[in-house]
Chain A
Amino acid sequence: MKLYLSIYILFFSISLSFNVKAQNQIVADLSQENVEISTDFLGAKILLFGAYDGRKGDDIIVVVTGPKGLVTIQKKEKVLGVWVNTKKVNYINAPKYLSISSNRDIDKILNQKTQKISEIGLNNLNIRIQPGKQIRSEKEWREALTRNMLKSKLWSLNENSISLNKNSLFRSYLSLPSNVTIGKFEVKILHYRNSKLISKETNTINVSKSGISAEIYNIAQNYSTLYGIFAVLLAVFIGWGTNLVFRKV
């Protein structure tokens, strides 16, 4: 399997480099486009590889963005000697997974302004707060979001993690942690020359639940009461069963 894949990658890369040379277009592929969360899922590591028509000093940045949705930040304050959640802010379109990789420090590739405009960098994403809510120190909350998402491994910044080869091939590993959410993950591969984007390519990773794990999840969601009754009956049955077993011992 490994051997076949290596050969495949080799030929793929060679054929790619011809194409790339011809069209000045970056091309890339993933070792895995579908990630299935089954009962033995411990996270996934995906190889991203491809070819580009590069010169010395060119840069590659890869941004992987997971499904976006509600992420709530809570702030604790001391009330009567106890630390209590007193304030909260809802971010309505925060990516539940974000990975930014590059071949060298992003600050060396792009200036701050360009990073902001092209939404590259953990703090440059346009993440909106629930409409109609006024908050005073937005920056503090936004930093708390980034800090906590990094801590949960759902967000990551991997500068210097992309290896470039002879200005034509690149590869990078993407890690999906075990607590990753299901959905479509957009993989954007950006090729920069002198801070200018000269070519880009987009891929998708599909993360879904499969096997018994998916079945259980679906039943729990769609037939929730029956699921609850079944869970109770299973426990009663096992409890009764052990009693029979231990009586004979």
Chain B
Amino acid sequence: MYYHNQTNNDENLMYIYLPIAEQPIHSLVIVGVGSIIGFIMGLVGVGGGFLLTPIMMFLGIPPPVAVASVANQLVAPSVSGVLSHWKKGNVDFKMGTVLLLGGVIGSSIGVILFNFLDKIGQLDLVIKSSYVVFLSLIGSLMFTESLRLILRKRKGKISRGKLHQHNWLHGLPFKTRFRKSKLYISVLLPILIGVIVGVLAAIMGIGGGFIIVPAMIYLLGMPTSLVVGTSLFQIIFVAANTTILQASQNQTVDIILATLLLIGSVAGVQIGAKFTNILKGEHLRLILSTIIILVSLKILTELITIPSDLFSIVIGR
């Protein structure tokens, strides 16, 4: 009669209170989102974080918690993915180690920068504009490349050129031989790529696969078969480093959110990986690049349209 309490019907039971994000969320929605993202990851090898972080923010998770928890969840599908690729011999551990050295340095810088941007109230802007710049860049590159490949195959011409193009970047000092990748290039180049990707990974809440994979193909000239496994190998360490630093510096890692996401994503990755032999790589990349371009346009629109309220609040802890 007078007594009123929150009714626990079946629908409400699916909600779980996130201890760090400090809000309830529907657990099946999170597991579902995780598995779709995992499926894309398994299929294409990239695309975990850059779709996941915006979706989490869209669901109302505060950006700092979204970025840190997505970094945490990325560890699991990356470990699982590397183990599968390792079995097929598709991981260049030497190249991966060099990349991750840069990645760990970069992600440490990234977390410090992240903290600073949050303090001056520009985090949201930097996250969004980085998404616009990198997504549109990578999206259009990937789009044209895969389209060209599809058209070329349709004509029936398969040109076999050199293993890879050499450019001036390969000629930097400290040249090292990467036997597995059949490369003899400067060690500075992969380290530098690792640092840049690490910074972006920490700020944008991504593994950096969608940046590092094209960089490995176009800048380093690595064989495509090794690219996905090797990038996943280095993402494990970049994501782990980001998680530990975000947890110790900002206390923004929500382990419940991350666990729900990764339960979905690890299963999705495995299922996605099984489909790679059925679906053609270039068609997948064409679809993914279209999604990437659309996401970047969506975020760009958010940045340039007049907000419904010019004022916003940040409630201190």
* Distance A229 CA – B72 CA, assembled complex (angstroms): 10
Which residues from chain B contact A145 at a C-beta distance below 8 Å? 313
Could you tell me if A43 and B311 are in contact, using CB atoms closer than 8 angstroms? no
Partner among B2, B76, B267 whose Cβ is within 8 Å of the Cβ of A5: B2
Using known A-B contacts A75-B310, A178-B24, determine if residue A1 contacts B243 with beta carbons closer than 8 Å: no
- Taking a contact as CB atoms under 8 Å apart, the answer to whether B79 and A239 are in contact is yes
Q: Tell me whether A231 is interfacial, beta carbon within 8 Å.
A: yes
Query: Which of B8, B251, B314 makes the CB contact (< 8 A) with A220?
Result: B251
| B-facing residues in A85-108 (Cβ within 8 Å) | 85, 88, 96
Contact of B313 among A78, A148, A236 (CB under 8 A): A148
Q: Is the CB of B5 within 8 A of A45?
A: yes
**Chain A interface size, under 10 / 10 to 19 / 20 to 34 / 35 or more:** 35 or more
- Taking CB atoms, residues of chain A closer than 8 Å to B99 are none
- In the complex, the chain B residue whose C-beta lies closest to that of A31 is B3
A242 to B243 Cα, complex, angstroms: 21
Q: Does A197 contact B (CB under 8 A)?
A: no
Bound Cα distance from A106 to B73, whole angstroms: 50
Known: A74-B121, A234-B259. A179 touches B246 (CB 8 A): no
Per DSSP, chain B at the interface is: helix
**CB pair A72 B266 closer than 8 Å:** no
Contact B20 A149, beta carbon cutoff 8 Å: no
A227, B247: Cβ atoms under 8 Å? yes
Which B residues, 264 to 317, have Cβ-Cβ distances below 8 Å to chain A? 266-267, 269-270, 303-307, 309-316
Contact with B along A144-170 (1 / 0, CB 8 A): 110111011010000000000000000
Pick the contact of B122 from A84, A209, A234 — CB < 8 Å?
A: A84
Please provide the chain B residues from 1 to 23 with a CB less than 8 Å away from any CB of chain A in the complex: 1-6, 8, 12-13, 15-17, 19-20, 22-23
Give the docked Cα–Cα distance between A96 and B258 (Å). Answer: 27
Q: Are A216 and B19 in contact (CB under 8 A)?
A: yes
**Interface status of B75 (Cβ within 8 A of chain A):** yes
Q: Contact: B248 with A225, CB < 8 Å? A: yes
Residue of B nearest to A152 (CB): B313
* Residue pair B247, A220 in contact (C-beta under 8 Å): yes
Q: Is A125 in the interface zone, CB < 8 Å from B?
A: no
Complex CA–CA separation, A246 to B79 (angstroms): 13
Complex-state Cα separation, A243 to B86, whole angstroms: 12
A197-249 interface (Cβ within 8 A of B)? 209, 212-214, 216-217, 220-221, 224-225, 227-232, 234-236, 238-240, 242-243, 246
Q: Can you list 8 residue pairs at the A/B interface with Cβ under 8 Å?
A: A39-B17, A39-B256, A47-B4, A70-B316, A71-B316, A76-B310, A145-B313, A225-B248
Which residues of A are at the interface with B, using a C-beta cutoff of 8 A? 1-2, 5-6, 9, 31-32, 37-45, 47, 49, 69-78, 81-85, 88, 96, 141, 144-145, 147-149, 151-152, 154, 171, 173, 178-179, 181, 209, 212-214, 216-217, 220-221, 224-225, 227-232, 234-236, 238-240, 242-243, 246
Closest 9 CB pairs of A and B: A228-B247, A239-B79, A70-B316, A144-B311, A239-B76, A235-B75, A228-B244, A242-B266, A239-B80
